[in-house]
Chains A and B, each alone.
Chain A
Amino acid sequence: MSELTLTVMRLGFLAVLWLFVIVAVQVIRSDLFGTRVTQRGSARRGAPDRPQQQQRQQQQAAPPQQRQQPSGRGRRGAPTKLVVSEGTLTGTTVALQGQTITLGRAHDSTIVLDDDYASSRHARIYPDRDGQWIVEDLGSTNGTYLERNRLTTPTPVPLGAPIRIGKTVIELRK
């Protein structure tokens, strides 16, 4: 066996061994480099849905999140935040980033309502495939009202329309 072949094989083996190490590190890179923090709001329009890929490691820590809707944000006229305008939580805002927002008295809700007239899992607000935000009543006791109508089916939410849950009113704003 010629010297050259052996050298090539020797270095080739080391390269392959290191390739394995590097691929292994790639598999767990979110552990080592942390998850990518996306800016709140609409600053990162062009950001591809990388975060979704990196959430995998922390699935159990965070509540299960919806699949990102790339077209959901950055659209003209799309709401960027949810504002509580009446009730004990008045003034609370939550940035809309394509994830489902659950409302209710249950402790794992996105917005935990301190409202005797709200059910523990009262309603949820989520973007549909086109990025339109939908509000859906989750079988609550006292119902969810959009403007003045009690919801029976998931309904698109216009910008600024009041959603009433018990004594709490929330709306979507730009």
Chain B
Amino acid sequence: MSSSTTNTTTISTAGPPSRRNTELAMLAFAVIIPVFAYANAGLALSDELPSGMLSYGIGLGLLAGVGHLVVRKFAPYADPLLLPIATLLNGLGLVIIWRLDQSRRLAVRAEQIGQTFAPSAPNQLMYSAMGVALFVAVLILLKDHRILQRYTYISMIGALILLILPMFFPARFGARIWITVGSFSIQPGEFAKIIIAVFFSGYLMVKRDALALASRRFMGLYLPRGRDLGPILIVWAMSILILVFETDLGSSLLFFGLFVVMLYVATERTSWIVFGLLMSAVGAVGVASFESHVKVRVMSWLHPFAVYDNPRPSWATTDQIALSLMSFGSGGVSGSGWGQGASDLIGFAANSDFILATVGEELGLAGTMAFLLLYGLIVERGMRTALAARDPFGKLLAVGLSAAFGIQVFVVAGGVMGLIPLTGMTMPFVAYGGSSVLANWALVALLIKISDTARRPAPAPAPSTDAEMTQVVRP
């Protein structure tokens, strides 16, 4: 067919760049930054390079290297930024947790309440290794994200079970979000957010036309039919129930927000957002007015410094929010520098829910903004993947996963900064906690898988059967 003679060249299409080398370079950069931060914190805290620096650096580098090689083999066209940013956030989280481990205050405090103070950083490094192992497993075992579509309703049941299970376990720290087996405890909500995104994408892919088109127009808004309201009412009721029985404001916000975002993306109807906001406002106000745990959260959000009043109001039991706000304030624009803040005063949960306060104090506004931008970039890459994806399920799943990620960052950062009431969620990748790290690595693996499928060049079109219908010129 395309025979070429000596003086002409047959031009073949240039192979699309896979951008794996860009990823490798970014990954190297993403490993160097935490090592630099580690050295920085060590020098500031004890005037010498920390002894574990090499092992932590090598550990992080190995994890990143394994992740990269697996992406190169199993998802060669994947987005080049997701893995480096996740690695950087994970590495910086390790440094912050290590830095808080060095705090004498936390050790003294732990002894006061009769616990032995154990450093968290080695655990977190182990969790990171498990997270990367899960990342690798997802990339290798999940050949195509569309397989997940088959498990739409199974994942609904799975997510419900994961969300309901913690109700039967004792509350820890005022929220029933843990499953405890022996000394081992996991937060199923972190995994539920991925599974529920799978369910929503599978469900909305089938139902979106009915939801988008069968509606009446009223005052410029498309009112959905009563029967189409069913699912949104169920999800709403579920998130309210989570709020009431597990007193977990964060998960409730996350799931309802995720559903509204995905409904909007699937149907392009603004009315869903209006309904969603109205319903969540009604639900939140309703629950906050009678559920004491939520009420305390709301009150300490509105009056963070009331805990220092004399006499102290009865609901003001913790000064964590006040201390967190002071941390951000004393950080200023460029921060106090690694290891030189006093964010460890927050004490309990300083390295999990409140980890952003340490960023705010030691890296200042500039560092916090960089962190938020890094999270924003992950969300942006996810949305970009959704735009590029060719199958509707992949589009919705990518939107759902990145929206869940974004909402979680908003809920945590907003809570710590006093923008919204504080919720018991963790900063993805940075905060201490095995469930969170594992779930977020799995989330990034799914996004990488979808982006690999999306960016993979289309296979050459099969020879068309039209050719046979071409009429032959009879000489």
Chain A contact residues, CB within 8 Å of chain B? 1, 5-7, 9-14, 16-18, 20-21, 23-25, 27-28, 31, 56-57, 59-61, 64-67, 100, 105-106, 108, 116-121, 126, 128-129, 134, 136, 138-142, 153-154, 156
Q: Which of A21, A106, A129 has the most CB of B within 10 A?
A: A21
Residue B433 at the A interface, CB < 8 A? no
Cβ of A120 and Cβ of B467 under 8 Å apart?
A: yes
Cβ of A28 and Cβ of B381 under 8 Å apart?
A: yes
Contact with A153, one of B5, B40, B377, B473 (Cβ below 8 angstroms)? B5
A83 to chain B, nearest CB (A): 23
Which residue from chain A places its CB closest to the CB of B390 in the assembled complex?
A: A60
Residues of A close to B9: CB separation below 8 A: 128-129
Residue B101 at the A interface, CB < 8 A? no
Given contacts A27-B26, A106-B464, A64 and B11 within 8 Å (CB-CB): no
Given contacts A64-B457, A117-B473, A134 and B80 within 8 Å (CB-CB): no
Which among B110-118, B221-229, B334-342 touches the partner chain? Answer: B334-342
Residues of B close to A154: CB separation below 8 A: 2-5, 8, 10
Q: Which of B32, B84, B373 has the most CB of A within 10 A?
A: B373
In B430-471, the 8 Å CB interface with A consists of: 454-458, 461, 463-464, 466-467, 470-471
Which residue from chain A places its CB closest to the CB of B18 in the assembled complex?
A: A56
Interface string of B156-167 (1 = CB under 8 A from A): 000000000000
In B54-82, the 8 Å CB interface with A consists of: 80-81
6 A-B pairs closest in CB distance: A10-B337, A120-B466, A64-B13, A120-B464, A59-B16, A141-B470
Cβ of A17 and Cβ of B471 under 8 Å apart?
A: no
The dominant DSSP class at the B interface is loop
Residues of B close to A65: CB separation below 8 A: 13
Residue B234 at the A interface, CB < 8 A? no
Contact with A24, one of B81, B454, B473 (Cβ below 8 angstroms)? B81
Which among B125-133, B138-146, B190-198, B360-368 touches the partner chain? Answer: B360-368
A66 to chain B, nearest CB (A): 6
Given contacts A20-B29, A31-B384, A60-B454, A100 and B370 within 8 Å (CB-CB): no
Residues of A close to B374: CB separation below 8 A: 20-21, 24
Contact with A14, one of B3, B84, B367 (Cβ below 8 angstroms)? B367
CA gap between A149 and B33 in the complex, in Å: 66
Cβ of A67 and Cβ of B14 under 8 Å apart?
A: yes
Cβ of B455 and Cβ of A28 under 8 Å apart?
A: no
Given contacts A14-B364, A17-B33, A56 and B88 within 8 Å (CB-CB): no
Which residue from chain B places its CB closest to the CB of A53 in the assembled complex?
A: B17
Residue B19 at the A interface, CB < 8 A? yes
CA gap between A16 and B9 in the complex, in Å: 47
A64 to chain B, nearest CB (A): 4
Cβ of A119 and Cβ of B455 under 8 Å apart?
A: no
Residue B47 at the A interface, CB < 8 A? yes
CA gap between A122 and B80 in the complex, in Å: 38
Residue B270 at the A interface, CB < 8 A? no
Cβ of B37 and Cβ of A13 under 8 Å apart?
A: yes
In B336-356, the 8 Å CB interface with A consists of: 336-338, 340
Residue B215 at the A interface, CB < 8 A? no
Which residue from chain A places its CB closest to the CB of B465 in the assembled complex?
A: A120
Residue B30 at the A interface, CB < 8 A? yes
Cβ of A60 and Cβ of B388 under 8 Å apart?
A: yes
Cβ of B467 and Cβ of A14 under 8 Å apart?
A: no
In B21-48, the 8 Å CB interface with A consists of: 22, 26, 29-30, 32-33, 36-37, 40, 43-44, 47
B457 to chain A, nearest CB (A): 6
Residue B294 at the A interface, CB < 8 A? no
Residue B1 at the A interface, CB < 8 A? yes
Which residue from chain B places its CB closest to the CB of A9 in the assembled complex?
A: B40
B332 to chain A, nearest CB (A): 11
Cβ of A60 and Cβ of B456 under 8 Å apart?
A: yes
Contact with A116, one of B37, B88, B470 (Cβ below 8 angstroms)? B470
Residues of B close to A13: CB separation below 8 A: 33, 36-37, 40, 338, 363, 367
Cβ of A20 and Cβ of B30 under 8 Å apart?
A: yes
A55 to chain B, nearest CB (A): 9
CA gap between A15 and B390 in the complex, in Å: 38
A52 to chain B, nearest CB (A): 8
Cβ of A1 and Cβ of B377 under 8 Å apart?
A: no
Contact with B455, one of A59, A108, A129 (Cβ below 8 angstroms)? A59
Cβ of B337 and Cβ of A7 under 8 Å apart?
A: yes
CA gap between A11 and B362 in the complex, in Å: 11
- Chosen A-B contacts, 25 in total, with CB atoms closer than 8 Å, are A6-B337, A10-B338, A14-B367, A20-B29, A20-B30, A20-B370, A21-B373, A21-B377, A24-B374, A25-B377, A56-B16, A56-B19, A60-B388, A60-B458, A65-B13, A67-B14, A100-B11, A128-B8, A128-B9, A128-B11, A138-B2, A141-B470, A153-B4, A154-B8, A154-B10
CA gap between A21 and B8 in the complex, in Å: 46
Residues of A close to B471: CB separation below 8 A: 116-117, 142
CA gap between A20 and B16 in the complex, in Å: 25
A110 to chain B, nearest CB (A): 13
